[in-house]
Every structure is written in C-alpha cells, then in structure tokens.
C-alpha cells in the first residue's frame, strides 16, 4: 500500500496521535522539541512519559508492544548501507507517537543522548529503581566516560562541514557511512548487553536515546547542504514495516519525504556543535585557504582469500618520498574501504585499520561490528560488511624521515575469543591516496 502523505491530513487529524502523515499534516502543526538527556531529570515530562510508555508497552502483546519494536528493528532495520539514517528516523518517529498515545503525554519527544556533550549516561536511566533501567549492560557503564572511551580507540568520526553524501550516510546497496561505522557502532559496543547485538539492541531504552542523537547529527549535516546533495535513486527508495500510534501499518515511505524534521513534527533544542568536528587550517600570516594546483592519485587494492583474516597494502615509494619532503603546501587525502564477509565469523569483532612505519603505528579507523544477519544467514555468506576510512596530514608524524616503507593494514580483532566462532574473512582492502600541490592565498 502506497500512501500519499499530503492527502492523509484528514485521517491524521481525526486520529490525533495516529499514523504519520508527512508534510503539511497534523503532526507538523505542533512542533515537538527533542532535548538533551543531560539537561533533563527523572521528573522531566519527557523522561516520565518515556518510562510510563516503556512500562505500558512491556505489558502489551499487540503491535504496540515493546517486543514488537525490537522485532521491527532486528528484522527490517537498515544497516551497513545508505538507508541507515532514514530508516532509523522513521522507527524513532513512530515510537514517539505510540508512547504519546499510550501515556497521554501528547507532546512527548524522545530525549537525545550525546556522549560527547554529556559524557556519562543520565542517572534516570542507570538507577536500578528507574523505569528506564536495564540490567543487561556492561559492568561500570553507569559511570563510564563514553567520550574518553570512544576517542581512546579511534579519532575518526563524521565531519559535518565537509563530508560528502556517501562518506557521511553510506552507499547503496551496501557500505556504511562514517556516522554509522564510527559514531554509532562504538556506543552499542560500550553499552554492551542487549545493545551489543542487533537482534536485541532496541530492547534497551539507551538505544532510542542514542539513535535520537544519531538523527540529530544527520539534521545538523543536512542543514548545511544543498538539496542536490541527495542522489535521486536514494530519495526515490521506499521504506515500510512501521507501526503507527494506533498499532496500524503506516504503509510505504519515500525517503524524499523524511529529509526535513519540521514537516515530521519535531525539531531539536540544539543541533550538533560544529567545533567537535571542525579544526581551522593553519597557514602563513594572512592566508586563509590553500588553492589546489595539481594532484596525483595513487590507487591501491588487496584482495583476500579463504582463511585469510587480514590484509595490507604498501604505499608507493614515490608517494611516501613526496610526503616526507612535504611542507604545508602539500594536501594529503587518503580514503578507502575494507570489506569483510558478513557472516557469523564477523560477530563480536572490532575492525581495526592501521598505518604502520618503522615499528610505529596509528589508527586510521576502529569500529566494532554491528552486524545484521537475517534468519537463515548465520552460517553462510550474506554479502559484504563494508567500512570506510580516511586520513590526511596527520600521518606525516608517523611517516617521519628515512626510507622505511609505509603500510596500511586491516584485521578483525576478536572481542570474545572464547566464543568459538569461525574466523572473519577479509574480502578486499581498497585505498586511494591523493597528493595535491597547492599555494596559500
């Protein structure tokens, strides 16, 4: 069933808290404001509504039950591809309406938890007496500094001011974006327990606070983009399988209809802070930018074989020599991806991408796998799990002087070595290194 969301206004107005109707609908007439979890308390209206809604949904056995929301996510959720962001936006949106309808908190908006701004989880979700408490979480998670823990593993995240669409959001048919592969996956791993596995993640209330912040990251990036940034074949895709405020099937949603939050009836108290991602360039006095003069591109690829758990490529000696002789006019841009066979052997792994030279190494990417294995896919190859990575001038300190070779390596480290799973298999490692001569202006 395809629904024209612009023609569904009458039904939405009658239902009040019923199915979503998109742009121009009753939902958009009252803007719900999603607020930071660290600014709220146990008595804040949205926290009370979430707790009450959770308790009510856990007692239900119909399509508005808590178990149903987890099933929707585990069976239909889009991961490791470019539909990750719009799919999760829609599921979060529908959950808000279910909670609003069941509890009578008509203006309920899911709080977002930003682990960089509010570095620990709020007590109203970690206290054992709280309605939002979940006992199956990693030990010490209630006092963990998530920002420090995440940055200790890898400094790479999405760049809200410069990432292109595929780098930020992902690729079709497969391939995670920086938002999913780094900022998203690490929170699942660090929270642990139910959050660690895709089959159970949506059962932990933290899942919804976390994905609310992921949606906020997208809203921030979107605000700085032209409409043409989205590929036509992506915006034309449809998503379905969601349950509305009255337990109804809400039909199909075109991705193009969910790019803006305001027509969907909500906004954020604050968008994501740009300084987290944006470092000013340095140059001669009075210079503000580097003007490219010419580039050389060095493509590299390594393909894996059965039984091979890691791969490496060596940077061309010519490129390394130029980088070692570089001043601040040389622009360095490395971008690549690694593909693993998406099967049971990749569960509970952390994909580690490193650059090495003369016994030294730095991380180019570190991401725990958050793997979507649908029923029947657990014991055979179910496509590729693809993670992007990149680097820039920060690698110059590693490369240093001399003539030692520089390599990029990837492996899937086992986070649960006692589980007895088959080894992960690396399919391919692709890297493109672009060196651009420039002048300051």
Domains plus CATH for the chain? 5-276 (1.10.1280.10), 290-440 (2.60.120)
Tell me, what's the pLDDT at 289? 78
Q: Is 145 helix (H, G, I), strand (E, B) or coil?
A: coil
Q: Does residue 61 register a pLDDT over 90?
A: yes
Tell me, what's the pLDDT at 382? 52
Strands (E), 264-405: 266-268, 290-303, 310-314, 330-341, 349-357, 360-368, 384-391
List, for residues 359-399, the tens digit of each pLDDT value.
999 999 899 998 877 554 433 345 899 999 999 888 998 99
Tell me, what's the pLDDT at 7? 31
Using 50, 70 and 90 to split pLDDT, how confident is the model at 274? very low
Distance CA 280, CA 61 (A): 54
Q: Which two tokens stand for residue 40?
A: 């709220």
List, for residues 176-188, the tens digit of each pLDDT value.
999 999 889 989 9
Using 50, 70 and 90 to split pLDDT, how confident is the model at 266? very high
List, for residues 72-85, the tens digit of each pLDDT value.
999 999 999 999 99
Instruction: Provide the Cα torsion 346, 352, 356, 361; round to 10°.
Output: -140
Give yes or no for a contact between 103 and 53, defined as CB atoms under 8 angstroms apart.
Answer: yes
Tell me, what's the pLDDT at 287? 67
Tell me, what's the pLDDT at 3? 33
What are phi and psi for residue 14, nearest 5 degrees?
-70, -40
Considering the chain, what is the average pLDDT of its residues? Answer: 86
Q: What is the mean pLDDT of residues 133-141?
A: 94
Task: Report CA-CA distances (Å) from 216 to 78, 84, 97, 110, 367.
Answer: 18, 14, 18, 11, 21
Give yes or no for a contact between 300 and 405, defined as CB atoms under 8 angstroms apart.
Answer: no
Q: Does residue 20 register a pLDDT over 50?
A: no
Tell me, what's the pLDDT at 254? 97
What are phi and psi for residue 243, nearest 5 degrees?
-105, 130
Q: Does residue 18 register a pLDDT over 80?
A: no
Q: Global pTM?
A: 0.84
Comparing 18-27, 87-96, 328-337, which segment has the lowest mean pLDDT?
A: 18-27
Q: Over pLDDT 70: what percentage of the chain?
A: 87
Q: Does residue 284 register a pLDDT over 90?
A: no
Distance CA 269, CA 291 (A): 37
Tell me, what's the pLDDT at 2? 36
Strands (E), 186-289: 238-239, 253-254, 266-268
Q: Does residue 124 register a pLDDT over 60?
A: yes
Q: Does residue 191 register a pLDDT over 70?
A: yes
Distance CA 370, CA 190 (A): 12
Q: What is the mean pLDDT of residues 141-168?
A: 84
Looking at residue 2, the DSSP 8-state letter turns out to be B
């Amino acid at each position: 069933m395809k629904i024209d969301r612009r023609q569904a206004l009458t039904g939405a107005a009658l239902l009040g808290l019923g199915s979503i109707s998109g742009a121009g609908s009753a939902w958009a007439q009252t803007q719900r404001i999603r607020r930071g979890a660290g600014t709220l308390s146990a008595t804040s209206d949205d926290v009370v509504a979430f707790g009450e809604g959770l308790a009510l949904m856990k007692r239900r056995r119909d399509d508005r039950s808590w178990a149903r929301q987890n099933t929707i996510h585990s069976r239909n959720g889009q991961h490791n591809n470019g539909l990750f962001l719009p799919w999760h936006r829609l599921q979060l949106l529908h959950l808000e309406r279910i909670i609003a309808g069941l509890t009578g908190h008509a203006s309920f908006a899911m709080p977002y938890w930003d682990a960089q701004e509010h570095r620990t989880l709020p007590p109203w979700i970690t206290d054992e007496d709280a309605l939002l408490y979940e006992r199956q979480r990693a030990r010490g998670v209630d006092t963990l500094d998530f920002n420090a823990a995440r940055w200790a593993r890898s400094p790479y995240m999405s760049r809200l001011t410069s990432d292109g669409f595929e780098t930020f959001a992902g690729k079709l048919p497969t391939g995670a974006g920086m938002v999913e592969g780094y900022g998203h996956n690490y929170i699942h791993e660090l929270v642990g327990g139910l959050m660690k596995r895709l089959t159970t993640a949506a059962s932990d209330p933290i899942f919804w606070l976390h994905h609310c912040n992921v949606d906020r990251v997208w809203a921030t990036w979107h605000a700085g983009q032209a409409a043409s940034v989205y590929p036509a074949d992506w915006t034309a895709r449809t998503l379905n399988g969601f349950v509305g405020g009255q337990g109804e099937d809400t039909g199909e949603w075109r991705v193009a209809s969910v790019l803006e939050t305001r027509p969907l009836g909500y906004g954020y108290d604050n968008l994501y802070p740009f300084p987290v991602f944006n470092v000013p360039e340095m140059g001669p006095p009075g210079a503000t930018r580097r003007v490219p003069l010419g580039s050389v591109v060095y493509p590299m690829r390594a393909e894996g074989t059965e039984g091979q758990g890691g791969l490496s490529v060596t940077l061309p000696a010519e490129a390394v020599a130029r980088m070692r002789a570089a001043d601040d006019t040389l622009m360095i841009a490395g971008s690549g991806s690694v593909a693993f066979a998406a099967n049971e052997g990749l569960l509970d792994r952390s994909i580690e991408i490193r650059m090495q030279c003369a016994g030294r190494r730095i991380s180019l990417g570190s991401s725990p796998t958050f793997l979507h294995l649908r029923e029947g896919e657990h014991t055979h190859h179910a496509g590729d799990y693809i993670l992007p990575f990149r680097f820039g001038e920060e690698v110059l300190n590693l490369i240093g002087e001399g003539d030692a070779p520089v390599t990029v390596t990837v492996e899937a480290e086992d986070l649960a070595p006692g589980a007895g799973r088959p080894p992960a298999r690396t399919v391919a490692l692709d890297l493109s290194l672009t060196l651009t001569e420039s002048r300051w202006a």
